[in-house]
Amino acid sequence: MYIVLFIIVVAIWAFVDGVVLDYYFAERFWYSPITAPPGSRGLLPPVGITNEYGTGTWAHPLGTDHRGRDILVRLVYGSRIAIQIGIVATGVGATLGTIIGAVSGYYGGWIDDVLQRTVETFYAIPFIVLMIAIMSAFGRGLWIAIVGVSVITTPIFARLIRSEVLSVREEEYIEAAKAAGVRDRNIIRRHVIPNSLAPVLVQATLQIGVNILIVAALSFLGFGAQPPTPSWGAMLAQSRTYMLPDPWFSVWPGLAILVTVVGFNLVGDGLRDAFDPRLND
């Protein structure tokens, strides 16, 4: 939880300064994440290490990239893309998937068949192929990436919530609500979905980590946020040419992705243990 909270706070700061204030604090008190400071040397290693391009200094503690931009600054401001797409896309996908799965499981019959066949069609397509198709058709950009990741996330939650609803709809309080004349939509909203949400919350936390990996993969392939906007996947892509002379250029964004994904996975495992005490028996 501490890992996740720290990264979220950093991402919020990066969003406020980068989007709202147009890098005001970064350019005034630190370095711009999109342009190199005057006189900066490219591919400097971390502080205390020497390579063919020079010796690392405290001015750039993690080194510089191929354009002379500070890597630490770009890691901080690149967290915005990963967290923004990861959380927003997971939230949208979980919401749509919950609605589709609840309706499908509650009504059954032909409604269930139509919705599930549609869900399975999207689920059967490799997610990277689907994402590239979506972004090739509608353009490359942050919000297109959010929409695309939401689309590929929705089937996961739809199938999960449907399996829960199939058992919840047989409970006595559902029969009582029907006997009292409560409309189906109100039963789904007030009784079915709230009593089926525990596994959805666990999956949502785990899915954020998965979506962050998807975002990094898209940025690595040239989709998602476009240069010079900093993103961890794009930093990895840019470092490929310089792995031998300056391996640190690729190490830092890789570690950032690793720590973030592991953090969300640990939180998801903790929520799963909390919601299912039988795992501790």
Percent of the chain with pLDDT over 90: 48
Which residues, in sequence order, are CB contacts of 5 under 8 Å at separation 6+?
none
Question: Which tokens go with 72?
Answer: 């630490």
pLDDT in tens, 137-176: 888 778 888 888 999 899 999 999 999 999 888 889 898 9
Q: Region 213-218: what's the mean pLDDT?
A: 88
Give domain status of residue 48, yes or no: no
| pLDDT range class, residue 117, cuts 50, 70, 90 | very high
Give domain status of residue 93, yes or no: yes
d(CA 116, CA 94): 16
CATH number at residue 256: 1.10.3720.10
Q: What pLDDT is stored for residue 281 in this prediction? A: 52
From 170, 224, 174, 162, select the one nearest 199 (Cα to Cα): 162
Question: Using an 8 Å Cβ cutoff, are 115 and 178 in contact?
Answer: no
What are the φ and ψ backbone dihedral angles of 50, each rounded to 5 degrees?
-120, 135
Q: Region 214-240: what's the mean pLDDT?
A: 86
Q: Region 110-119: what's the mean pLDDT?
A: 92
Place of tokens 């900066």: 40
Residue 278, pLDDT above cutoff 80: no
Give domain status of residue 60, yes or no: no
Give domain status of residue 81, yes or no: yes
Residues in the chain: 281
d(CA 124, CA 152): 10
Residue 73, pLDDT above cutoff 90: yes
Question: pTM, whole model, 2 decimals?
Answer: 0.88
Mean pLDDT estimate for the chain? 89
Q: Region 252-269: what's the mean pLDDT?
A: 94
Question: Using an 8 Å Cβ cutoff, are 165 and 107 in contact?
Answer: no
| pLDDT range class, residue 274, cuts 50, 70, 90 | confident
Q: What pLDDT is stored for residue 61 in this prediction? A: 94
Give the count of domains, the chain. Answer: 1
Q: Which domain holds residue 115?
A: 2-30+71-280
Q: Region 13-20: what's the mean pLDDT?
A: 93
Residue 246, pLDDT above cutoff 90: no
Give domain status of residue 251, yes or no: yes
Residue 277, pLDDT above cutoff 70: no
Give domain status of residue 96, yes or no: yes
Question: Using an 8 Å Cβ cutoff, are 251 and 238 in contact?
Answer: no
Residue 113, pLDDT above cutoff 90: yes
Give domain status of residue 42, yes or no: no
Percent of the chain with pLDDT over 70: 98
Q: Region 97-118: what's the mean pLDDT?
A: 92
Residue 52, pLDDT above cutoff 80: yes
Give domain status of residue 53, yes or no: no
Q: What pLDDT is stored for residue 262 in this prediction? A: 95
